[in-house]
Amino acid sequence: MPSRLCLAALLFLSSASAQNLTEIHVEKLAGKLLYADGPVWSRDGYLLYCDIPANRLYSLIPPPAAEDDNAASKLTEARIALYRENSGGASGITFDTQGRLYTCETHTRRVTRTDKKGKLEVLAAKYQGKRLNSPNDITVRRDGQIYFTDPAFGSENDSRELDFYGVFHITPKGELSLVAKWTTRPNGIALSPDGGTLYVSDSDLHLVRAFDLDQHGSASGERILISDIKGVPGGLRIDERGNIYVAAARISVYNTAGKSIGDIPTSEIPSNLAFGDDDFSSLYITAHTSIYRLRLEVKGSVQY
């Protein structure tokens, strides 16, 4: 049976800034991972996540979400299965509207897409003749515009060929271009519900930047939206009201103006997060060695 931690967390009410601090249950669904990251919910009914050092992707079919103590006592174990061996050091993954899987492979330094029949194609591996640093996180807009971050952490930083850390854009035609050229390392990436704003976390400066996107996917208006984040900001997710969830020292939540709404404490430092379950009202959290889930009174925003 999943272990369950009773923690104070945010439940969002009628307005984007309203909040009600109450007790909810955080369920631990999986453990003993080396470093979990990059969760995404499949519309086929499972969570997909990465274990980067293990070089694997796993699928997790969760038990029914616990709404109260009686329901929790009837929960069964999450069903976990190996989804992909030799993942290329996958760290960030997502789906598009056709159900195709996009993967940032940190070890092979490329971005790939796998169709529902299992055919894999490389979307990006080089920029201006030089190998990418270490693609980290990725998001795909409903119209097929692709955005990914390309930092380099640890030993990957010693072997990089590019003299900058980048945020990149791939058009539906496969054209690669640079959104931003940074001296600091971008990490998590996400889109606003209408697809008109791109959010990127900066792990070195502890902030989140925003870009305006036009109908063709081109970016402009780079600006700092959130600063002074506690901890190292990694994964980002957005709910249906446009609120921004940042995995850092804990899950920190901000409104569209970048003002803090509050924090969701976790028992481990989170690396990333994803909305899931059939109603997209569960928040799944990868926290280094474990996978957690909690229920919110707001749905997540997804582009697929």
User: Does 128 or 7 have the greater pLDDT score?
Assistant: 128
| Rg (alpha carbons) of the chain, rounded to whole number | 18
In a domain, 263, yes or no: yes
In a domain, 100, yes or no: yes
In a domain, 261, yes or no: yes
Q: Does the pLDDT at position 1 exceed 50?
A: no
Cα distances from 98 to residues 94, 114, 127, 141, in angstroms, run 12, 11, 27, 12
In a domain, 302, yes or no: no
In a domain, 300, yes or no: no
In a domain, 303, yes or no: no
Q: Specify whether the CB–CB gap between 166 and 182 falls below 8 A.
A: yes
pLDDT band at 25 (very low <50, low <70, confident <90, very high): confident
pTM for the full predicted model: 0.91
User: How many domains does the structure of the chain reveal?
Assistant: 1
Q: Report the CATH number at residue 284.
A: 2.120.10.30
Q: Which domain holds residue 172?
A: 4-295
In a domain, 251, yes or no: yes
Q: Does the pLDDT at position 275 exceed 60?
A: yes
How far is Cα 212 from Cα 195, in angstroms, rounded to an integer? 9
In a domain, 301, yes or no: no
